[in-house]
């Protein structure tokens, strides 16, 4: 199509939308963009990476995942740059890169684990898969602030902080009793770093069906996770503007303030304590059947 063929209105609408800033703020494309980001991370992020990598309110991780996923930068190139550096940040960053390679290896050797549980222990687990609850999760309207902030970050930017991916995934699986595959599909549809191995095995890790046997009984408390990793609630304030005027404590517990002060932000769609107990009972039952 010629660039001046304005009969293709859909395309021109899209161009206008991008030009007027309604589209997500995507990473700079290409190798130069990847290196600019990498060099900025080496200069300002690497030393504190070990301590701050779990903080979604800080710009503390490399955000190289879209470039790594697309092959714009090779992990060995990053390792070569790190070989001349020392410190806890270096070690931790290398470990994270290794997770990516490990999951690629696991998927290569267990291709069925793309959509099936890698480990069979939870095959008998009961799920609810309630469409309205799943939709509230997809839309970032569960009434649980850290989960909603992450889900809205995903919709707006195509990226979500790792700690929040874990918490949002745990909430879907363990508080809403939904199969991990439902969430994995949504992530694949929206992530700009969507990677079959890292995504499916990230979800299986949270579900307790993957390579790590231990966390089947772990149910992240999304409120405590928020208070711990977003202490000033600035991540929540950023992605849930309805809560922007609340104090940090209120933003982590918005159900304690009037509906008016929280600008229509909903009450939690489930009782966190109740559903945690349900999840643990169901996991216990499923495991005793399989033993």
Query: Using CB under 6 A, which residues numbered 100 to 139 contact ligand FAD?
Result: 100, 103
Member of 54, 117, 148, 195 binding ligand FAD (CB under 6 A): 195
CB 134 within 8 A of CB 177: no
Asked if 58 is part of the footprint of ligand FAD (rule: CB under 6 A), the reply reads: no
Member of 133, 173, 206, 251 binding ligand FAD (CB under 6 A): 206
Question: What count of other Cβ atoms lies within 10 Å of the Cβ of residue 239?
Answer: 23
Cβ 53 to ligand FAD, closest distance in Å? 5
**How long a stretch of residues is the chain?**
291
Interface region with ligand FAD, contact rule CB under 6 A, candidates 146-154, 186-194, 217-225, 226-234: 186-194
Q: Return d(Cα 126, Cα 236) in angstroms, integer.
A: 32
Question: What count of other Cβ atoms lies within 10 Å of the Cβ of residue 254?
Answer: 24
Member of 72, 194, 248, 269 binding ligand FAD (CB under 6 A): 194
Q: Rounded to whole angstroms, what are the CA distances from 191 to 26, 153, 158, 165, 263? A: 11, 10, 4, 11, 28
Interface region with ligand FAD, contact rule CB under 6 A, candidates 98-106, 144-152, 234-242, 258-266: 98-106
Question: What count of other Cβ atoms lies within 10 Å of the Cβ of residue 263?
Answer: 14
Member of 47, 59, 81, 96 binding ligand FAD (CB under 6 A): 96
Q: Return d(Cα 211, Cα 198) in angstroms, integer.
A: 12
CB 242 within 8 A of CB 262: yes
Cβ 142 to ligand FAD, closest distance in Å? 16
**Cβ neighbours for 80, distance < 8 A, ≥ 6 positions apart:** none
Residue nearest to ligand FAD (CB): 202
Cβ 89 to ligand FAD, closest distance in Å? 10
Cβ 67 to ligand FAD, closest distance in Å? 8
Cβ 40 to ligand FAD, closest distance in Å? 12
Q: Could you give the 3-state DSSP secondary structure of residue 17?
A: helix
Q: Rounded to whole angstroms, what are the CA distances from 157 to 79, 163, 192? A: 27, 16, 8
- Which of 170, 175, 177 is CA-nearest to residue 202? 170
Cβ 82 to ligand FAD, closest distance in Å? 11
Interface region with ligand FAD, contact rule CB under 6 A, candidates 10-18, 99-107, 246-254, 264-272: 99-107
- Site residues (CB under 6 A) for ligand FAD? 53, 61-65, 68-69, 96-97, 99-100, 103, 162, 165-166, 169, 187, 191, 193-195, 198-199, 202-203, 206
């Amino acid at each position: 199509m010629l660039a001046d063929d304005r009969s293709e209105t859909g395309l021109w609408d899209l161009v206008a939308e991008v030009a007027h800033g309604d589209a997500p703020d995507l990473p700079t494309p290409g190798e130069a963009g990847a290196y600019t980001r990498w060099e900025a991370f080496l200069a300002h992020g690497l030393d504190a990476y070990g301590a701050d990598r779990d903080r979604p309110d800080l710009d503390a991780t490399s955000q190289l995942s879209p470039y790594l996923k697309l092959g714009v930068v090779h992990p060995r190139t990053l390792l070569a740059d790190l070989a001349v550096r020392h410190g806890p940040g270096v070690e931790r960053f290398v470990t994270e890169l290794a997770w990516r390679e490990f999951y690629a290896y696991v998927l290569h050797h267990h291709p069925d684990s793309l959509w099936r549980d890698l480990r069979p222990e939870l095959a008998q687990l009961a799920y609810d898969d309630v469409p309205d609850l799943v939709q509230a999760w997809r839309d970032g309207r569960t009434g649980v602030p850290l989960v909603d902030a992450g889900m809205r970050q995903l919709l707006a930017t195509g990226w979500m902080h790792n700690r929040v991916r874990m918490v949002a995934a745990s909430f879907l699986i363990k508080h809403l009793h939904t199969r991990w595959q439902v969430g994995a599909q949504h992530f694949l549809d929206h992530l700009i770093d969507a990677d079959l191995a890292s995504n499916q095995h990230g979800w299986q890790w949270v579900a307790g069906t993957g390579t790590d046997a231990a966390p089947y009984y772990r149910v992240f408390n999304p409120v405590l996770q928020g208070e711990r990793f977003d202490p000033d609630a600035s991540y929540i304030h950023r992605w849930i503007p309805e809560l922007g005027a609340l104090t940090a404590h209120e933003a982590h517990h918005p159900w304690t303030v009037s509906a008016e002060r929280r600008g229509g932000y909903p009450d939690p769609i489930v009782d966190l304590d109740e559903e945690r107990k349900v999840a643990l009972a169901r996991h216990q039952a499923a495991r005793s059947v399989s033993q």
